[in-house]
Amino acid sequence: METFNIPATPSLMKEFLRQMGGTAVIDGGLATELELHGADLNDPLWSAKCLLTSPHLIRSVHLDYLEAGADIIITASYQATIQGFEAKGFSREQSENLLKKSVDIALEARRVYYERCSKSSSGGTGDGRILKNRPILVAASVGSYGAYLADGSEYSGCYGEAMTVNALKEFHRRRVQVLAEAGPDIIAFETVPNKIEAQV
């Protein structure tokens, strides 16, 4: 974010929104767009499957959203968990690298977008896409425990009585650390369905 002098401090969002005139547009449904680009997401990893099979599609969708005017792009890590990748046979190190890759792809898309902006003098592409040099945030997506379960419980919050605050903290801790270390501007906790998980 150094391009726009937004410091990585607790006031980052406040300053970002100030520079945006009080309103920012978040990208749309990543999975829906990936499917429209031909991705098969019928998998417990959902859109995170593309980190393995077609990272170029993720980057393309991020760029599409930026060119449509999105000010915040969200990484393909909503359903990406260390535990989920390990269940697919990946080592812990490989799993952590895939989480980092989700942030790297979004950061790369932002960089490419800024390069396109610097080459365009008109502020547009002639086909409705927006090329406007503006602050853009990359948000690392953290889905709920229910998203990892891939059974719809990210909407109900019904994880069973054995799931405690401490167990949820342990589930999320390393993933959030890895994502934060990868360098996104913010972390976006999505579909937190119950009070216990919200305490994490």
Concatenated DSSP letters of 30-54 = HHHHHHHTT----STTGGGHHHHH-
In angstroms, rounded to a whole number, what is the distance separating the alpha carbons of residues 18 and 92? Answer: 40
pLDDT band at 121 (very low <50, low <70, confident <90, very high): low
Share of the chain above pLDDT 90, in %: 64
| Residue 17 covered by a domain | yes
| Residue 197 covered by a domain | no
Domain that holds residue 165: 2-190
DSSP-derived secondary structure letter, 21: T
- Residue 189 sits at φ, ψ, to 5 deg, of -85, 120
Q: How many domains does the chain have?
A: 1
| Residue 101 covered by a domain | yes
In angstroms, rounded to a whole number, what is the distance separating the alpha carbons of residues 99 and 88? Answer: 14
Structure tokens at 83: 């535990």
State the number of CA atoms in the 13 A half-sphere of 119 facing the CB: 7
Sign of the four-CA dihedral 189, 192, 197, 199: positive
| Residue 196 covered by a domain | no
Q: What is the pLDDT of residues 138-151, one digit of tens each?
A: 999 999 999 999 88
Q: What is the largest CA-CA distance in the chain?
A: 58
| Residue 159 covered by a domain | yes
Query: 61, 37 in Cβ contact below 8 A?
Result: yes
pLDDT (average), residues 107-117: 94
CATH number of the domain that 135 lies in? 3.20.20.330
- pLDDT at res. 76: 97
**141 forms bridges with which residues in the sheet?**
188
Closest CA relative to residue 179, chosen from 112, 117, 97, 72: 97
Q: What is the pLDDT of residues 12-30, one digit of tens each?
A: 888 899 988 999 999 999 9
Looking at per-residue confidence, does 95 or 153 come out higher? 95
| Residue 175 CB burial class (10 angstroms; 0-12, 13-18, ≥19) | buried
What is this structure's pTM? 0.90
